[in-house]
Amino acid sequence: MALQRVTIGMTAHAQLLAVRIEDDVLDALLEAVKGGDWHDLTVEDGTIRLNLSQVLYVRTTLDEHKVGFGAA
């Protein structure tokens, strides 16, 4: 499974939460956002409890390992 870099934008004071999560955890988060309820997000070092009614956006970036020089 690939790790995803995820940034969650919150309404309260323009807060951002940046985490790295597995694909299945991301899928569960995106499904839960639709409901706007509370959600426990499991990350590498613990659990984050989110009030999804305060989420403005979820930005994902595939966390690929790159070695050497890439061709442009």
pLDDT digits (tens, 9 = 90+) for 41-70: 988 889 999 999 999 999 998 656 666 665
pTM value is 0.76
CATH of 3-62, one of 3.40.50, 2.30.30, 1.20.120, 2.60.40: 2.30.30
* Conformation bin of residue 4: beta by default, left when phi > 0, alpha when psi is -120 to 50: beta
How high is the mean pLDDT of the chain? 85
Nearest 5°: phi and psi at 22? -75, 160
